[in-house]
Chains A and B, each alone.
Chain A
Amino acid sequence: MSALLELHHVEKRFGGLHAVKDVSLSVRAGEIVGLIGPNGAGKTTLFSCIAGYHRLTAGSIVFDGYEIANHPAFKICRAGVARTFQVVKPFARMTVLQSVMVGTFLHHRDTPTARQSALAVLERLHMTHLADVEAHSLTLVLKKRLEVARALATEPRLLLLDEVMAGLSPGEVPEILDVIHEINAGGVTVLFVEHIMAAVMTIAKRVVVLHHGELLADGTPAEVSRDPQVVSAYLGEEYAGA
């Protein structure tokens, strides 16, 4: 399979802070790739660069053969890249169904079709019973799921998931993992940031590790978890911080 997303020497500085340093990475169509790293490693920044929310300091990002770096967010979405937000951004006074329709409208101009399509998305995410609930009254866990539903509604080819499992109880994790598996089985490539290691290890075929903005490792979950650099940098800090 060919590369769907390619990052070449991506750099991002905020004033004196060097958030992302020379990251090159490629994601093939159909993959599920996990992006991990300690807090402040630059994961969310890297996501925001890909999705068009930050301008790159240097480097290039190619999606499906087209340069998308520094394009406005809405164009990147239209190209087929959808994202969720780590800090959820619900449309507070819209219902769940309406929120998802905002996404399905991208490919379905008329309201009845957009509604049908949104209902199908809700069903995939087991949210049908919440269709008429206003977004602001959802729990954080459900708001995170709504983020996924909205992103999926734009029918992306690449889905960027930013910590959608944070805050879930252990019992709830398998359900969302199944959902992600289904999404992937439906032909959507997934790149996700996650803190729950067990989840990353079960679902990702490949794991990329960021540390201090740099790419530290890239391999199968088994390889990465054995990498001594990763163990000391990521796991070490994680446990030290706990």
Chain B
Amino acid sequence: MKRSTYGWLALALLALVGPLITDNSFIRDMWVLVAMWGAVATAWNLIGGYAGGLSLGHAAFFGIGAYTSSLLYTTFHISPWLGALAGGVLAMLSALVIGLITIRLRGPFFALATLAFAAILGIAATNLRWLTHGSEGMTIPFAPSMNNAIFASKLDYYYIALALLMVFIATTWWIARSRFGYYLVALRENEDAAQALGIDGLRVKLTATLLSAFMTALVGSFYAQYRLFFDPSIFATSLSVQIALFPIIGGLGTVWGPLIGAAILVPLTAELRSTLGSSVAGIDTFVYGTVLILGILFVPNGLVSVLRPLFVRRPRPADQNVQAGT
């Protein structure tokens, strides 16, 4: 077997049994959160990294997912498994509307427009009290069962999050190698030139946005089931920024970059929050912001660009086919 195959096997083993090593609740929470944020970041990366649409409004789709499954569950006792799908469809519908409005905007203006979209939803969630309980937030009663998608053990949540993450990464991997992926990158690099090659820019970008919204909403539902509580701050700009931060630090427009970003930043900030956060409020976000500034200025291609040379050795005749895992 090639050496890279051993690497992949080790990684798979780590993902599967890593959380079993300790039953420390904090550490198991980390595993869940890394998988969960890695999944959202992977979803964002489709539109933000591959298509170059810098959304600062992904909290909107995340929140739509959380609210939809939770409301269907608490009001009509519809299983969150179905509710998550309903949330995904609703997120796609909203992505269609907001996408048609904003997709031709460039760079910062797309970011601003998507930010405004999430802000409007946040205001709606705060004020539509009859539906969302306003700023009191949504509480899901703890009633563990498979049908309720509520579990007593964090391990169950972890494997669900891992499954989502793996499906999203596989989807990205497949897209990156397909015509659709080439089209997204071409549109990002130069929209005029892409159109001249027969690419329907609006349709392609909209498709990516819908897919990304659907994926993000699924994780939103997962988040609601995991935490069993959330409030309108789920639509906050800071959440949208955080979602974008992981791929930026890890590597925009790469298959593994978003997960790498989440795997480093999630434990780092959690650790900072638990050790320093109680004495100095704000230090965790301060570090977040500093990492973002330094990362964007000095490692704009993400950690993947730094790590890749370590894993991809200079090709020798025997293993010239070994490609970077990104």
Contact = CB atoms under 8 A, between A and B. Distances in A.
A111 B195 contact: no
Interface in A1-15: none
A90 interface: yes
Contacts of A92: 189-190
B193 A89 contact: yes
B198 A74 contact: yes
B198 A154 contact: yes
A144 interface: no
B190 A105 contact: no
A114 B179 contact: yes
B200 to A, nearest CB: 5
Chain B binding surface SS class = helix
Nearest to A105: B179
A83 B196 CA distance: 7
A200 interface: no
A150 B197 contact: yes
Interface of A: 51-53, 72-74, 77-78, 82-83, 85, 89-94, 98-99, 101-103, 105-106, 109-111, 114, 150-151, 153-154
A52 B197 CA distance: 12
Given A92-B189, A93-B189, A102-B194, 17 more contacts: A72-B200, A73-B192, A74-B196, A74-B197, A74-B201, A83-B196, A85-B196, A90-B190, A91-B186, A91-B189, A91-B193, A101-B182, A105-B182, A106-B198, A114-B182, A151-B196, A154-B197
B198 A78 contact: yes
B185 to A, nearest CB: 6
Given A85-B193, A89-B192, A150-B193, A94 B185 contact: yes
A102 B197 CA distance: 7
Contact of A73 (B177, B183, B196): B196
A94 to B, nearest CB: 6
Contacts of B185: 91, 93-94, 98
Given A91-B185, A91-B189, A77 B195 contact: yes
B189 A73 contact: no
Given A51-B196, A78-B198, A106-B197, A89 B178 contact: no
B98 interface: no
B205 to A, nearest CB: 12
Closest A-B pairs by Cβ, 5 of them: A91-B189, A89-B193, A77-B198, A73-B195, A105-B179
B179 A90 contact: no
B197 A103 contact: yes
A125 to B, nearest CB: 16
A169 B189 CA distance: 29
A102 B183 contact: yes
A111 B179 contact: yes
Nearest to A92: B189
A177 B195 CA distance: 27
A231 to B, nearest CB: 35
A102 B196 contact: no
A154 to B, nearest CB: 6
Contacts of A98: 182, 185
Nearest to B179: A105
Interface string B277-304: 0000000000000000000000000000
A130 to B, nearest CB: 17
A82 B190 CA distance: 16
Given A53-B192, A105-B179, A111-B178, A94 B200 contact: no
B199 interface: yes
